[in-house]
Amino acid sequence: MEKTMRIKYHSDEIEKLEYIAGKSDWIDLRVAENVTLQKGEFRLISMGISVQVPDGYEMLLAPRSSTFKNFGLIQTNSLGIIDESYCGDHDIIRMPVYATRDTELHVNDRICQFRIFEHQPHIVFEEVDALGNQDRGGFGSTGKN
């Protein structure tokens, strides 16, 4: 089912949002400014857009798999969450980054990606003495003998 997301571009230089055919249903965001960062520096990098996420949905913002290798950047909040209340003309999407080495970003570099998800349903928590299921071996045990 298609959903409509309204987008305001704050730069004529960045490429418009689009799916990369046959690759993924995540959508890449592009840097809207030239940025030079020194090792150890923090910065909010503008993606040059404001959006109105469809009602009942939220946007998850994550680094692209190549962002650390190509730019030495780590997204400081690990995963950004943008809900439908962050929808004003000046609510510009930014990626909070920490530079692990000196690096440069240029307009249209792709450093993060997003997808939208429906809000989580309301969950009722039921306390029990035991779950009654077989253990898998604990955290980090997958693939170990």
Predicted confidence (pLDDT) per residue in 5-44, tens digit? 999 999 999 999 988 776 778 999 999 999 999 999 999 9
Predicted confidence (pLDDT) at residue 78 exceeds the cutoff of 90: no
pLDDT digits (tens, 9 = 90+) for 102-117: 999 999 999 999 999 9
- For residue 86, pLDDT over 80 is answered with yes
* 28 is a catalytic site residue: no
Q: Does 16 fall in a domain?
A: no
Q: What phi-psi label fits residue 84: left (phi over 0), alpha (psi between -120 and 50 degrees) or beta?
A: alpha
Which one from 12, 83, 91, 102 is the annotated catalytic residue?
83
Domain count, the chain: 1
Domain CATH number, residue 102? 2.70.40.10
Q: Is the dihedral of CA 59, 60, 64, 69 positive or negative?
A: positive
Residue range of the domain that includes 50: 6-11+25-118
pTM over 0.85: no
Q: Does some domain include residue 134?
A: no
In a domain, 32, yes or no: yes
